[in-house]
Structure 1
């Protein structure tokens, strides 16, 4: 029978220290930098590892980077479909029905890719 790793609960002081380090990282604007090697990000990573919150294998498996890339490709493909339908004279609701997505999603992609859609 394999041994399951027990979840570690940090103390209140450890949470405060972790939040302080996280605030420092957010202040310098490294919120979406996963593999940043600056001093503050390194300090946050090493502290969270030392109290048992961060497990390297979960971060470095590339799953989230792959997921972000898949989302980007899906948005690009949908944007191409939206452009084709917009040039045919469809409005947002018709486009959403034809590509089987929500009207808000179509609007979001129209803003992101600067697509002009007719209003009827």
Structure 2
């Protein structure tokens, strides 16, 4: 009876190690398959364009830049005003299924250095 329990415990531990190892490999592969900068800019452009029109900002798609964060699961596409210092930031995140998408809440933001007065 003792040998059977030991065998079951050993088998369960081996199965747990295999599941944990495959989960880690899967997560790493997803982060490693980040889209190109052009993809982020193309996906962000409709959001940025709508936000710019609603807030009377002048931006150009060709001036878009991408900021990738060290986590490997977040990125921002940033469009700076052509005649100013403000920028529109569109934030992306990688979900648990490996799909990149614009954050649903607070995904589009105005970055305005003039909002914060200097003293």
Q: Which structure has the highest helix share of the two?
A: 1
TM-score (norm 2): 0.29
Give the structure with the higher percent strand.
2
Q: TM-score, normalised by structure 1?
A: 0.29
